[in-house]
Structure 1
Amino acid sequence: MTTSPPPPDRLPDGFVVRLAPATRQRDGGTTLLGGSPFRQLRLSPAARPLLRDGRVEVTDARTAALAARLLDTGIADPEVSLAAPVPVVTVIVPVKDRTDGLTRLLAALRADPGTAGCPVVVVDDGSAAPAEVAAVAAGTRLLRHERARGPAAARNAGLRVAGTELVAFLDSDCVPAPGWLARLAGHLADPRVALVAPRITALDGDAGSSWVARYEAVTSALDMGPVATRVAPLTAVSYVPSAALLARRAALGDGFDESMQVAEDVDLVWRLAAAGWRVRYEPAAQVAHDHRVAPGDWLRRRAFYGTGAALLAQRHGPAVAPVVLSPWSAAAWALALTGRPLGLAAAGGVLGTASVQLARRLGAPGSRPPYGLAASLVLRGTTASGRTLARAVTRHHWPLALAAAVASRKARRLVAAIAVADATDGWWPHRQEVGLATFAAGRRLEDLGYGAGLWLGAVRARSGAALRPVAPPPIQQPGTGQRPTR
């Protein structure tokens, strides 16, 4: 599968980027710490006055280069204007048998002034009752596959007949909130943005129907969270789901990989990123999704998602790694988990050494290394890696954890403690919305389902690539020079 090459990286005049909320400024604003993966950027004397009040406005080639660099490191986000008129977008809806959902979605599109005049292409992917789909889709352009070919093929069929520069993909079990399209379309002022995705939330009324619904409402696999960010492999938001997307048609090339019945959306995002396109996540735009809440369907879906990791590993290698862990963190946790005083002391020594080395790398030439900052960053990274390891034990590698627990009483106690700690840590931000018991049950069952699918996919592919951990890229730090961001 191919994607089109992006245009030259020149942001238009008037485009504005603002430092992301998590970005830290040091040395009087000349050093920036943040992004994903985490990095340090030092602004050259020529670049420093271009960043004013935490923002850069593009007025010439230098400001365009600086703004692009800040965007591509995740250190800054674009300021999206809602004042510009929303362009005409072709809405592509793949559907298979869900006439109730299709009725609801089309009604929402017609009621929203931003999409009321948009052409809609409905692709019937082998529904058992095509006449019912055709009746609901009256007024749209209807395509039909006589046999089901999968969502990727259905979306591509709509893509091929779209007559507009922009296309939106919406699954038939979605209901977009009013104004969603305008919030997404603003990102396309950047000519290198190929794809932008809204936040996927639970459909109103789902949260109280069952314990699965209550769990899904706060931690759905489709919900990428409340923070706007760039999307790329091995970052905080590494992909966005295809349930709702706005795309630049020219960027998509051949579109989705039709050989993939799962994870085709992740594959598309990663191919676009590899080709040099930008992909954005915009939670201010929201699309409600009718989550699967029957326990059996829900678990089967999680296992199905898990099988996609092996397919992604074949195409994208370490980008799909379940654990990203630095050697320093791995050594510190291995020593600490011995539970012995000597091991704990050695773990402290490892982290102390890592802090000293990081401080020397972060320090400006001729200045005292920032030991306190380095220690806080190492501690934060170690805590995050601990969460990652706990998730691996209970999710990606639970068959190994189960085998160890059967063989060893000590391992059994450790795995049980990790499972409780992981569930409690995940529940805490949602403690006002769902009970701990409900969340913990959902967390453990979801992880069992996903992990089972992950291992099944690896067995089918005869490859353990999707199970192997990788080391993160080093904290990136440009040298001195006269380029705008250095």
Structure 2
Amino acid sequence: MLYRVDRTWRRAGDTVLAGSPLTMFRLSTSGGAVVDRLVAGDHIETSTLVDRMLEAGAIHPRPERSTVFEVADVTIVTPQLGGTVRFSERVVVDDGSVPPLAGASVRLATNRGPAAARNAGRREVDTALIAFVDADVDLPSQVTGGPTASDEGIARAWWEPLLAHFDDPRVGAVAPRVTGDPGSSLDLGPDPARVRQGTRVSYVPAAALIVRSEAFDEIGGFDEQMRFGEDVDFVWRLDQAGWGCRYEPAATVEHRRRATVRERLRQQYGYGSSSAPLALRHPRALAPFRSDGWTASSLLLALTGHPLVGLGLAGSRTWSIRRKLPDVAPATLLRLSVTNHVAAARQLTTAVRRAWWPLVAVAALVSRRARRLAVVAVVAAPHRLMLDVAFGAGIWSSMLRLKDWKAITPSITLGPGRQRRR
């Protein structure tokens, strides 16, 4: 197998810092040789070190062409409400449309939501893999070949990076990158990732998701009680059951944006409304801000009007780490510290715009520091402001309805994890 290192990768001698959350690996002589070959682009056999690095998100498989699966091993399932059935090759599930959809494979008598529709579609599938693709998602051939392009014309280049991951029998789901609406919570960025709650890529949407049929059946499919967030819950339950979940942006699909601003905001509100139900099912998984205490404190000090104090705190933390890692070059530790603080700052400003904006807005009425924090959060990503505020409104509506506040509670840890010498 070929691997690529995560963007967080930093190596100094027998020490590697990488992954999400950031993890320290101490390498033995043989472990160092394995890492040398991995970075050089050689094929690497599975080992304890490789498995630990995969689990930590420090390295990612570099997909080639699958030697096990091909397009014929995949059935596309599309839940649909209203509109027109465009693809005869798919299993299209009519989720209670009025009037009924002509040409649908399955019809539910009433609208029961995407979870129930996907579960109904799975019962029509006899292939090893299922590709759940929403009706408003265009695969590459549909973009280049027009709205009537056949599923059979889907570019092989789209499938191959995803199918190759399933050569590993431990992988239960793989998702492509979903682009379309700038600032949408569906687009998870250009970097590959192991998907796990509390990490950089903590979920993937089922707008486009390939799942191993065996894994789907083992966890009982999607939770039909959830109208929103059922895909997040599904992926987390897969991970908890021991199935690997991968995000592979080498494959990209396009999600058609809603026609009006009002529809786009309503969509984001719906996404946000899944937060409290998810937090009840998965406690501590939805923290809008995750960081170590030193980084969080230095950021808050800097953003609320005490930049020199915040810089001093960050510097003292870097120096304390330097004393513990004398073989790591100071320049490497400095770059790591800067990268860590920049990533945390982005996460913090997103939390202010989404989960915490009602609290910050109230505090801003009486606090200059809160006003400063609000301005920084807006300036950090002005193009995302409306969508983030709508998402946050959904979060708060769900929390008020269920009287549970886990969805806005931050998670602060002591520092990076450690791995034993390998």
Once the two structures are superposed, residues 260-283 of structure 1 have per-residue CA deviations (whole angstroms, 9 ceiling, x without a partner) of 000011111111112221111111
Task: Please say which of residues 247-256 and 345-354 is displaced more in the overlay.
Answer: 345-354
How far is the alpha carbon of 1:420 from its aligned partner? Answer: 4.0
- Residue identity in the other structure for 1:81: E
Partner of 1:427: none
Q: Are 1:386 and 2:345 matched, yes or no?
A: yes
- Distance 1:420-1:147 versus aligned 2 partners, 3 A rule: closer
Instruction: Determine the C-alpha separation between the residues in 2 that align with 1:194 and 1:122.
Output: 22
Instruction: Determine the C-alpha separation between the residues in 1 that align with 2:409 and 2:66.
Output: 47
Partner of 2:149: none
Secondary structure, aligned partner of 1:286: strand
How far is the alpha carbon of 1:79 from its aligned partner? Answer: 2.3
How far is the alpha carbon of 1:370 from its aligned partner? Answer: 4.1
Instruction: Determine the C-alpha separation between the residues in 2 that align with 1:415 and 1:35.
Output: 29
CA RMSD in angstroms comes to 2.2
Partner of 2:238: 272
Q: Are 1:405 and 2:391 matched, yes or no?
A: no
Task: Please say which of residues 44-53 and 86-95 is displaced more in the overlay.
Answer: 44-53
Instruction: Determine the C-alpha separation between the residues in 2 that align with 1:20 and 1:390.
Output: 23
Quick one: which of 168, 188, 194 aligns to 2:172?
Answer: 194
How far is the alpha carbon of 1:83 from its aligned partner? Answer: 6.0
Partner of 2:99: 129
- Kept in 2: contact 1:37–1:473 (CA 8 A): no
Partner of 2:188: 224
How far is the alpha carbon of 1:38 from its aligned partner? Answer: 1.2
Quick one: which of 150, 153, 165 aligns to 2:116?
Answer: 153
Q: Are 1:23 and 2:6 matched, yes or no?
A: no
Matches within 5 A, 1:369-380: 370-380=329-339
Instruction: Determine the C-alpha separation between the residues in 1 that align with 2:296 and 2:377.
Output: 19
How far is the alpha carbon of 1:235 from its aligned partner? Answer: 1.5
- Kept in 2: contact 1:304–1:453 (CA 8 A): yes
- Kept in 1: contact 2:273–2:398 (CA 8 A): yes
- Distance 1:146-1:66 versus aligned 2 partners, 3 A rule: same
Structure possessing the higher radius of gyration over alpha carbons: 1
- Distance 1:298-1:473 versus aligned 2 partners, 3 A rule: farther
Q: Are 1:233 and 2:216 matched, yes or no?
A: no
How many residue pairs were aligned? 401
Q: Are 1:306 and 2:272 matched, yes or no?
A: yes
Instruction: Determine the C-alpha separation between the residues in 1 that align with 2:310 and 2:79.
Output: 53
Quick one: which of 18, 37, 44 aligns to 1:34?
Answer: 18
Secondary structure, aligned partner of 1:320: coil
Matches within 5 A, 1:284-433: 284-337=250-303, 339=305, 343-361=306-324, 363=325, 367-368=326-327, 370-408=329-367, 410-411=368-369, 413-415=371-373, 417-423=375-381
- Kept in 2: contact 1:166–1:247 (CA 8 A): yes
**Percent identity of paired positions between Structure 1 and Structure 2:** 38
How far is the alpha carbon of 1:245 from its aligned partner? Answer: 0.8
- Distance 1:384-1:97 versus aligned 2 partners, 3 A rule: same
Q: Are 1:65 and 2:43 matched, yes or no?
A: no
How far is the alpha carbon of 1:444 from its aligned partner? Answer: 1.9
Instruction: Determine the C-alpha separation between the residues in 1 that align with 2:55 and 2:23.
Output: 12
Task: Please say which of residues 161-170 and 349-358 is displaced more in the overlay.
Answer: 349-358
- Kept in 2: contact 1:50–1:56 (CA 8 A): no
Instruction: Determine the C-alpha separation between the residues in 2 that align with 1:317 and 1:302.
Output: 22
Partner of 1:95: 80
Secondary structure, aligned partner of 1:77: strand
Task: Please say which of residues 43-52 and 72-81 is displaced more in the overlay.
Answer: 43-52
- Kept in 2: contact 1:17–1:67 (CA 8 A): no
Partner of 1:436: none
Partner of 1:483: none
- Distance 1:65-1:121 versus aligned 2 partners, 3 A rule: same
Partner of 2:401: 460
- Distance 1:56-1:335 versus aligned 2 partners, 3 A rule: same
Partner of 1:82: 65
- Distance 1:337-1:444 versus aligned 2 partners, 3 A rule: closer
Which structure 2 residue ranges, 5 or more long, are not aligned? Answer: 141-154
Instruction: Determine the C-alpha separation between the residues in 1 that align with 2:370 and 2:44.
Output: 57
- Distance 1:354-1:94 versus aligned 2 partners, 3 A rule: same
How far is the alpha carbon of 1:475 from its aligned partner? Answer: 1.1
- Distance 1:20-1:161 versus aligned 2 partners, 3 A rule: same
Secondary structure, aligned partner of 2:319: helix
Calculate the TM-score normalised by the size of structure 1: 0.77
Secondary structure, aligned partner of 2:283: helix
- Residue identity in the other structure for 1:134: A
Partner of 1:12: none
Instruction: Determine the C-alpha separation between the residues in 2 that align with 1:373 and 1:349.
Output: 18
Q: Are 1:247 and 2:175 matched, yes or no?
A: no
